[in-house]
Each structure stands twice: as C-alpha cells, then as structure tokens.
C-alpha cells in the first residue's frame, strides 16, 4: 500500500492520495482516508531499519469497511 525507502515514499496506485505516514520519517504509523468496501482485507506491516541486523518487525491487522 505504501513504502518508505531511502527517503522516498511510494504509494500503490489504488491508494494514491488516500494513504500516508503519520510522522515521517520517524513513525511507521499510517493513515488511510476515504476507505472503500474494496479496501477490506488483511494488511501486513513490515518494518526494517538498515543497517540494523535481525528480522524485520511484522504486524498484521484485518480491516473491515462497513
């Protein structure tokens, strides 16, 4: 849906203008505006912080849009 990599934010075309980071670049929190029924599903957040080693932090949530 959205990626922050090497100082650039890359948004998925289907979420363009509706998704963003809350506190760039220090927060992995995102906001999704103007949700649609088609946005419902399971979302996974993967956070890595190079050059730190180890496995990335992974979170998962289920979004229901009524």
SS3 at position 45: strand
Q: What is the pTM of this model?
A: 0.71
The vertex-37 CA angle with 45 and 14, nearest 5°, equals 60
Q: Give 23's DSSP letter.
A: S
What's the rounded Cα separation, in Å, for the pair 62 and 49? Answer: 25
The stretches in the chain having pLDDT less than 70 are 25
| pLDDT for position 25 | 67
What's the rounded Cα separation, in Å, for the pair 16 and 10? Answer: 9
Please list the residues that pair with 32 across neighbouring strands: 19
SS3 at position 39: helix
| pLDDT for position 19 | 93
């Amino acid at each position: 849906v959205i990626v922050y990599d090497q100082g650039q934010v890359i948004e998925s075309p289907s979420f363009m203008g509706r998704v963003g980071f809350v506190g760039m670049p220090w927060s992995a929190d995102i906001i999704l505006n103007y949700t649609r029924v088609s946005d419902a599903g399971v979302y996974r957040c993967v956070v890595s912080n190079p050059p730190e080693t180890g496995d990335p932090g992974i979170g998962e949530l289920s979004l229901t849009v009524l």
